[in-house]
Structure 1
Amino acid sequence: MRLRTRSDATDVLPGHRGTVRVGRRVSNLLPRIRSGDVACVDLVDMDTSTAQALLDAGVSAVLNVQPMISGRYPNRGPQLLVDADVLVVDSLGEEALTAIRDGADVRVHEGAVHAADKDGALLAQGRPVDGPLVQRLLASAREGLTSQLDTFTHNASEFLRREQDLLLHGQGVPEIETAIEGRPVVLVVRGESSAAELGDLRRFMAEQRPVVIGVDRAADDLLEAGHPADVVVLSSGVDSSLPSTKALKAATDVIAVVPEGISREATAQLDRLGVRPDKVQTQATAEDVALLVADREQASVIVGVGVGATLPDFLDRQRSGLASTYLTRLKVGRRLVDASTVPTLYSGRLRPVHLLLLVLAGFVALVAAIAVTPAGQLWGEDIAAWSRDVVDYLRGLLP
């Protein structure tokens, strides 16, 4: 009989085990994450897009050295993680970034992060984040939203001062080959509801044949759904958001959003793939540049898939993109329609078969009305007699 060893004892200790990937910037961390890994990040107020990116990467747990919800605004990223049954621990402190070694195996239990080796040393202590805690923190954050809106107003004014040529006059928006003028546009951003919204648009897209614009990896989602993007708009310097080469080469136009002064470095990976994008130098987000392109090209309507339409959706974004998003919505507001409203408003195109059925129904109703009149009954008897004569004649021709 084998004696129980110390290693056996560590295997039965409670908690979640996994290989941890450590990084301050989530965008740099994502390419290194494998399914089942534990992500350790440094991010205050995790937004929905970041949480969705972590879920897409296959994380089993998320450790944050900062508070997931600081109370500045009601961000919904933590709720998305909790709903997906991902273990979440926050407020680990800055020292956790050095205490937790990248690539090490860890055990997480009740907010404590331990080494998964036989020593089981405590590496960091944080706060377990579950559904009830998220709801309490969100309720508190909504109460303090007013002060954040004041700060946002100032940032929007500053952004407009810097980017007025792009926002107001379209300067810097590239000329594209895809013909958009007078046609509907479906603009897709990857999000928690984008797949369902895209499915609801199947009839609209089949009948209206819209121009399809994909932002970042939404181009892969479109390709998988059988609607390859005509135009792909890419974020600056975020390799993890780059769609597949197949999705890029299926597009007629590729637009890269790049910071001023570093356009060559920002598109180096695209050059290696043989993709030559048009460049837009701006601090606006890729989603907003896509909207501006569709608006400048005179789209008849822009249907936004995965594009937030409510105040919580709007606020739950990376802080640097709030002013850009707000001002862009004002610019294209008369054209932009949320995808969730299209099935309600769009009843479909009238097809020839519909007209044929309508005429047939009217004819049947007319015959039925005539048949109940004396004249109609007389005509019916005459038609029946004529039909019998024709049948008898045809029978007489048979051998």
Structure 2
Amino acid sequence: MRLPTRQQTSVLPGVAGTARVERRPRVLLPRLRPGDIAVLEHSALDRATAQRLVDAQVAAVVNVAPMVSGRYPNLGPEVLLRAGVPMVDGVGTTALAALTDGRRVRLHAGNVLEDDGAGGGRVLASGRALDRETVEAELVGARQGLATQLESFTHNSTAFLQREQDLLLHGIGVPVPGTRIAGRTVVVVADGPDVEAELVRLRPYLREQEPVVVAVGRSAEAVRDIGRRPDVVVVDADEPEGVPSAAALKAARDVVVRTGRGTSGGELVESLDRLGIRPLRIETDATAEDAALLLAGAGDAAVVIGVGMRASLEEFLDRERSGLASTYLTRLKLGARLVDAAAVPYLYSGRVRPHHLLLVMVAGFVALAAAVGVTPVGQEWADQLSDTLQGLLP
């Protein structure tokens, strides 16, 4: 997605905007406004975070850490490049103190300067301006280190399975929602970068088959945007900024709160109680997205369709590292029941509607009339019909 060219109020070189400073991306993202310069600390920027920066229409991104760590080929920098968002990385943690939140700054040649409007602003921080050639070269090097990352991933998966074996293998601790899931198709909607487009393509299926819709976090808003009410909403107590609106929560029949092992999710549960919502809870170190999949699997869903999820190796690795093992093992648990939303339009042609049958009948009558018309009897009928019509005319 390419953003429209941003109009700058200054004729000075570089990109100017208001600095929004917060080292934690999940706290920064809700505060961003179009034209802001996002200043954050996120080593190996992932695709989902980068897409949210693009959606916020930031003018530029300044990263305290490297955009590409070299450990694995993360996809975030490419998303920003395609959207035409300038990037500066490696400015160091001292830049967080120098770049005051709300200050007007300008980026030029890897430097972050005060924007005094006259070109004399002092340098507040310096880093590396990233271009396509630099990003592509670093990603090539990162791909060469994948073997090491996969070995680490195998170890993490084993440790995760030991901690979560009751939940993963036996379904112990998975809540039972009021929505009936057994034997039905369940559509699990994650807050992925292309979720809106995938939901639009899936709209005929949702309308005609009426599956159970389980929305994760803010994806509940995307579900409502296409005119569908989510049946179940799964929210993460560790990411309160990802909780959808009160209207989306109240519209759902069930609300499930994912809490980490040994935590209660107290603040989120209390806020839901104030809304009159009695949430179910699932205690796990798996991600909220994976908790939603486990909920569908434990409920004995016939088929689970994943929307806003990714299955390629690079996109699979391009996640928060703590959530990688749960993603892998959850998909193994669901097995053949899990289908990607991209495959549904190819496999589902739609329900036969009355106007489809009418068109077939009309085509059949036309073909029959044409066949009869070339026979002697048909010609005689045609002559009689012609005489009758002429007799009716004045």
Q: Compute the displacement of 1:114 (Å).
A: 1.6
Q: Distance in 1 between matches of 2:368 and 2:385?
A: 21
Q: Could you list the per-position Cα deviations for residues 1-57 of structure 1 after superposition, in whole angstroms to 9, with x for gaps in the alignment?
A: xxxxxxxxx965422222222222211222333332222111111111112233333
Matching residue of 2:101: 102
Q: Distance in 1 between matches of 2:26 and 2:194?
A: 21
Which has the larger displacement, 150-159 or 201-210?
A: 201-210
The yes-or-no answer on 1:216 pairing with 2:203 is: no
User: Aligned AA for 2:317?
Assistant: L
Q: Compute the displacement of 1:146 (Å).
A: 0.9
User: Aligned AA for 2:154?
Assistant: T
**Where do 1:268-307 residues align within 5 Å?**
268-307=270-309
Retained in 2: the 8 A contact 1:263–1:279? no
Retained in 1: the 8 A contact 2:237–2:265? no
Matching residue of 1:381: 380
**Where do 1:225-264 residues align within 5 Å?**
225-259=226-260, 260-264=262-266
Q: Distance in 2 between matches of 1:382 and 1:45?
A: 80
Q: Compute the displacement of 1:323 (Å).
A: 0.4
Q: Distance in 1 between matches of 2:20 and 2:355?
A: 59
Instruction: Count the aligned residue pairs.
Output: 382
Corresponding residue SS for 1:24:
coil
Matching residue of 1:113: 112
Q: Distance in 2 between matches of 1:207 and 1:11?
A: 53
Q: Could you list the per-position Cα deviations for residues 306-360 of structure 1 after superposition, in whole angstroms to 9, with x for gaps in the alignment?
A: 1102112211111111001010111112111111111111111223443444345
Corresponding residue SS for 1:80:
helix
Task: Say if 1:28 and 1:272 are closer, same or farther in 2 by CA, change over 3 A.
Answer: farther
Retained in 1: the 8 A contact 2:157–2:326? yes
Q: Distance in 1 between matches of 2:279 and 2:356?
A: 45
Corresponding residue SS for 2:336:
coil
**Where do 1:14-93 residues align within 5 Å?**
14-93=13-92
Q: Distance in 2 between matches of 1:273 and 1:121?
A: 49
User: Aligned AA for 1:76?
Assistant: L
Retained in 2: the 8 A contact 1:39–1:63? yes
Could you tell me which runs of 5 or more consecutive residues in structure 2 were left unpaired when the two chains were aligned. 1-8
User: Aligned AA for 1:15?
Assistant: G
Which has the larger displacement, 347-356 or 65-74?
A: 347-356
Retained in 2: the 8 A contact 1:27–1:239? no
Task: Say if 1:14 and 1:371 are closer, same or farther in 2 by CA, change over 3 A.
Answer: closer
Q: Compute the displacement of 1:172 (Å).
A: 1.3
User: Aligned AA for 2:187?
Assistant: V
User: Aligned AA for 1:327?
Assistant: L
Q: Distance in 2 between matches of 1:59 and 1:268?
A: 34
Retained in 1: the 8 A contact 2:10–2:16? no
Q: Could you list the per-position Cα deviations for residues 248-303 of structure 1 after superposition, in whole angstroms to 9, with x for gaps in the alignment?
A: 11111111111222332343333344433211111111111111111222222222
Q: Distance in 2 between matches of 1:73 and 1:187?
A: 28
Q: Distance in 2 between matches of 1:54 and 1:302?
A: 30
Q: In terms of Rg, which structure is larger? A: 1
Matching residue of 2:134: 133
Task: Say if 1:257 and 1:230 are closer, same or farther in 2 by CA, change over 3 A.
Answer: same
Identity of counterpart residues, as a percentage? 52
User: Aligned AA for 2:240?
Assistant: D
Which has the larger displacement, 55-64 or 212-221?
A: 55-64
Retained in 1: the 8 A contact 2:46–2:75? yes
Corresponding residue SS for 2:281:
strand
Q: Distance in 1 between matches of 2:25 and 2:53?
A: 8
Matching residue of 2:331: 329
Q: Distance in 2 between matches of 1:365 and 1:11?
A: 71
Q: Distance in 1 between matches of 2:60 and 2:279?
A: 36
**Where do 1:157-168 residues align within 5 Å?**
157-168=158-169
Retained in 2: the 8 A contact 1:258–1:266? no
Retained in 1: the 8 A contact 2:24–2:40? yes
Q: Could you list the per-position Cα deviations for residues 57-112 of structure 1 after superposition, in whole angstroms to 9, with x for gaps in the alignment?
A: 34222111111111111111111122222221111122222222223222211111
Retained in 2: the 8 A contact 1:88–1:129? yes
Matching residue of 1:342: 344
TM-score (structure 1 length as normaliser): 0.88
**Where do 1:140-151 residues align within 5 Å?**
140-151=141-152
Could you tell me which runs of 5 or more consecutive residues in structure 1 were left unpaired when the two chains were aligned. 1-9
Which has the larger displacement, 284-293 or 219-228?
A: 219-228
Matching residue of 2:314: 312
User: Aligned AA for 2:67?
Assistant: M
Superposed CA RMSD: 2.5
Q: Compute the displacement of 1:136 (Å).
A: 1.9
Q: Compute the displacement of 1:386 (Å).
A: 8.5
